[in-house]
């Protein structure tokens, strides 16, 4: 099993544990409330979405990483396409951060 598959599987596990929020509005609201520990943005997100999310994450000191396509992120959590995922649990966030940094696909924003 590749590292990318392991990351996607961990996202699915976090979703089943109800430790994720998805969708731009929900993630931004949870970032404002201080609940989100990590934001994962798909690599094919629009420039406007990237700018909006990066600015919000910087102002609230939340780590934001780019990983996978919207299809892969949606598939991993058992939903339709997802462009943005907010990780609420610090344990899942730390493990995902480490794994994404380990893979060459994770782009730090």
Q: What confidence tens digit (pLDDT) does each residue in 81-107 have?
A: 999 999 999 999 999 999 999 886 545
Beta-carbon contacts of residue 12 (< 8 Å; ≥ 6 apart): 76, 77, 78
Residue 54: is its pLDDT beyond 70?
A: yes
Contact 36, 27 (CB under 8 A): yes
Report pLDDT digits (tens) over 55-69: 999 999 999 999 999
Task: Report pTM.
Answer: 0.90
Mean pLDDT of 70-77: 95
pLDDT-derived band at 109 (thresholds 50, 70, 90) equals low
Three-point CA angle 93, 62, 102, nearest 5°: 45
Q: What is the pLDDT of residue 108?
A: 55
Taken in order of first residue, the domains within the chain and their CATH numbers are: 3-107 (3.30.1330.30)
Question: Between residues 1 and 18, which one has the greater pLDDT?
Answer: 18
């Amino acid at each position: 099993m590749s590292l990318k598959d392991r990351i996607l599987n961990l996202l699915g596990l976090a979703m089943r544990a109800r430790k994720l929020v998805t969708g731009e509005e929900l993630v931004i609201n949870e970032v404002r409330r201080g609940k989100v520990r990590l934001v994962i943005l798909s690599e094919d997100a629009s420039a406007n979405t990237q700018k909006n999310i990066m600015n919000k994450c910087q102002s609230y000191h939340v780590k934001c990483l780019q990983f996978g396509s919207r299809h892969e992120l949606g598939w991993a959590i058992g939903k339709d396409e997802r462009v943005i995922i907010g990780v609420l649990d610090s344990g899942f966030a730390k493990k995902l951060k480490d794994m994404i940094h380990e893979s060459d696909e994770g782009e730090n924003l």
